[in-house]
A and B are shown apart, each in its own frame.
Chain A
Amino acid sequence: QKEVEQNSGPLSVPEGAIASLNCTYSDRGSQSFFWYRQYSGKSPELIMFIYSNGDKEDGRFTAQLNKASQYVSLLIRDSQPSDSATYLCAVPYGGATNKLIFGTGTLLAVQP
């Protein structure tokens, strides 16, 4: 089992809809989780990170963490065409945030 798994997509949603991006991880001891956005040909940008079970909201983005199920998701409300990108989930290796293990990302396509 890969340490961090994401569906590669593409995930296609209409403009204005909620996009739901999912990530599962294998290390039950993981304490923090990171979401990055990567536009085609560009470097990743940190969107948000979450440490606690439950939801964390930042603008149109909500990260949801369920440690019991080893599952973290990113919801994007009111999706815009400019949100079209690859979304990368990352988990610290052995709990060390200096070394993140990245998933291969989910490609999101928001249709106008």
Chain B
Amino acid sequence: GAGVSQSPSNKVTEKGKDVELRCDPISGHTALYWYRQRLGQGLEFLIYFQGNSAPDKSGLPSDRFSAERTGESVSTLTIQRTQQEDSAVYLCASSLASSGGPGNFGPGTRLTVT
């Protein structure tokens, strides 16, 4: 079946602009996660959704970052007033339940802030 998809695959934006990243999880997966990976770094947790609720937003780096999920499906991660340090690959993952961790990662969105 279809895996997790993300769009856009690449995004170049100017510092100070807002960007919106989209994730389509595997159908029926209630748990959805956003991570980011800076060049040469490990993955950093951003936020976790169970259904449409976000019980854990502890990884969002600042109030410039927000995320929502609707219909227990699509999720969007919005970064306002982008900064150069926001440049990273943003990865979305989904799973049937959170107990097994993020089991299926999407291909990621590579964000470059110039």
**Residues of A in contact with B (beta carbons under 8 Å apart):** 4, 32, 34, 42-46, 49, 88, 90, 92-93, 96-105
Contacts and interface: CB of A to CB of B under 8 A. Distances in A.
A29 to B, nearest CB: 17
Contact of B42 (A42, A49, A98, A103): A103
Given A43-B91, A49-B100, A98 B48 contact: yes
Nearest to A42: B107
A100 B107 contact: no
Nearest to A89: B42
B55 to A, nearest CB: 8
A97 B100 contact: yes
Contacts of A49: 100-101
Nearest to A3: B42
Counting from the closest, the 3 A-B pairs by CB-CB distance are A102-B42, A43-B105, A98-B98
Contacts of B59: 99
A34 B99 CA distance: 12
Contacts of B12: none
A88 B42 contact: yes
B101 A90 contact: yes
B41 A92 contact: no
